[in-house]
Structure 1
Amino acid sequence: MASSDVNTRDDRISRISSSIRVIPDFPKPGILFQDITTLLLDPTAFQDTIDLFVERYKDRNINVVAGVEARGFIFGPPIALAIGAKFVPMRKPKKLPGEVISEEYTLEYGTDKIEMHVGAVQPGERAVVVDDLIATGGTLKAAVRLLERVGVDVVECACVIELPELKGRDKLGDKSLFVLVSST
């Protein structure tokens, strides 16, 4: 893996990249699964990951860190705490109690939805959407649309890993995407 949006001379990037295990043919033949559980087992690489995101967002007046289920829940809360923002979970359907707002998006075969609590964010707040990986970009695009529908300014999407061959970045249109590691 090679770095995408961060200075490749930064030792932290090589540490993060080398801590991500690639598992061939999972969950099906032909897939090279990017396993972040090995990154989480390495406290230094995990801290480096959080630090790089915090350094990027600490002075950008971010009020909301929206984490996409499920692995965005791992990276989002420590980033939110470090920059003084609230963490908003973006969940799969029927996982949040109470009133929710949802956004449907297209999958390879069918559709899915992403939801958040009504009132979790306010018009005019500034958000970053966090997930572990961007592949085709459908989930991130839905998260951005959901936040923007209620008047939030989505400053950027942030992922640990990008699979550029799947062109997920293109689905985000003019929305900025910050990634630490690009699988090539």
Structure 2
Amino acid sequence: MADGAHHEKIELITRNIRTFPDFPVKGINFKDVCPILKEPSALSAVVDLFEEQTKQSFPQVDIIAGIEARGFLFGPLLAQRLGVGFVPVRKKGKLPGPTVSLSYALEYGVDVLEIQEDAVTAGQKVVLIDDLLATGGTMHASCKLLEKHQAEVLGCFVVIKFKDLKGEEKLHDYRVFSLLQC
């Protein structure tokens, strides 16, 4: 993609992100990607750029995995474009049938992520997708969950990366690609 077209897509995506100050708590500036979903050209721009990055960096990808809930919005579209499957990574108790789970530490507690037992097979190459990368805890746990099931995590894609929260440091073993950085 030409640099001009790339830049135009990034600008379109940027214009379709809202900031809500003090949400969910005082001092947090929440970046809302929902307006991207209402604007077909912005949604296409996100998927176009993720598709371009995947084809350049990971042409051997077998599966796109999306983290609950916003990874479910972009992941299936990317998977469809690439002609590969999609796997949801969910909170405990949300998936039917046998699952594989992984507990991980939060700032004040523990959470559990799950995938269905047959979601990936040993050796499958996975790109993980979500809307935001903040502290990196959920993305890191999702990578470890997929690896626990013997998949190979090729990289992690996000629409927005918060540089100050240093989530990428937690993902030092993985390639991280973000469309925007705040």
Normalization by structure 2: what TM-score? 0.94
- Aligned pair partner of 2:7 in 5, 10, 19: 10
Correspondence for 1:123: 122
**Which runs of structure 2 are paired with 1:102-121 in the superposition (5 Å)?**
102-121=101-120
Higher relative contact order (CA 8 A, sep 6+): 1
Correspondence for 1:54: 51
Whole-angstrom CA distance in 2 between matches of 1:127 and 1:92: 19
Correspondence for 2:36: 39
Paired AA for residue 43 in structure 1: P
User: How many residue pairs end up in the alignment?
Assistant: 178
If each structure's helix is expressed as a fraction of its own residues, which one has the higher value? Answer: 2
Q: Which is further off, 54-63 or 39-48?
A: 54-63
Give 5+ residue unaligned stretches, structure 2.
none
- Aligned pair partner of 2:19 in 12, 19, 22: 22
Correspondence for 1:91: 90
Whole-angstrom CA distance in 1 between matches of 2:106 and 2:51: 31
CA-based RMSD: 1.6
Gap change, CA 1:159 and 1:112, over 3 Å in 2: same
Q: Residue 70 of structure 1: CA displacement?
A: 0.3
Correspondence for 2:173: 174
Query: How far does the alpha carbon of each residue in 1:13-37 deviate from its partner, in whole angstroms, 9 at most, with x for none?
Result: 1111121001100111100000011
Give 5+ residue unaligned stretches, structure 1.
1-5
CA contact (8 A) 2:100 2:149 kept: no
**Which runs of structure 2 are paired with 1:120-159 in the superposition (5 Å)?**
120-159=119-158
Q: Residue 168 of structure 1: CA displacement?
A: 0.4
CA contact (8 A) 2:131 2:159 kept: yes
Paired AA for residue 63 in structure 1: D
Whole-angstrom CA distance in 1 between matches of 2:44 and 2:175: 24
Paired AA for residue 85 in structure 2: K
Query: How far does the alpha carbon of each residue in 1:65-124 deviate from its partner, in whole angstroms, 9 at most, with x for none?
Result: 000000000000010011011100000010001110011111110010110000110111
Q: Residue 44 of structure 1: CA displacement?
A: 0.9
Gap change, CA 1:94 and 1:9, over 3 Å in 2: closer
Q: Residue 8 of structure 1: CA displacement?
A: 9.9
Whole-angstrom CA distance in 1 between matches of 2:79 and 2:175: 19
Percent of aligned pairs sharing the same letter: 43
Tell me, yes or no, if structure 1 residue 73 matches structure 2 residue 47.
no
Paired AA for residue 106 in structure 2: L
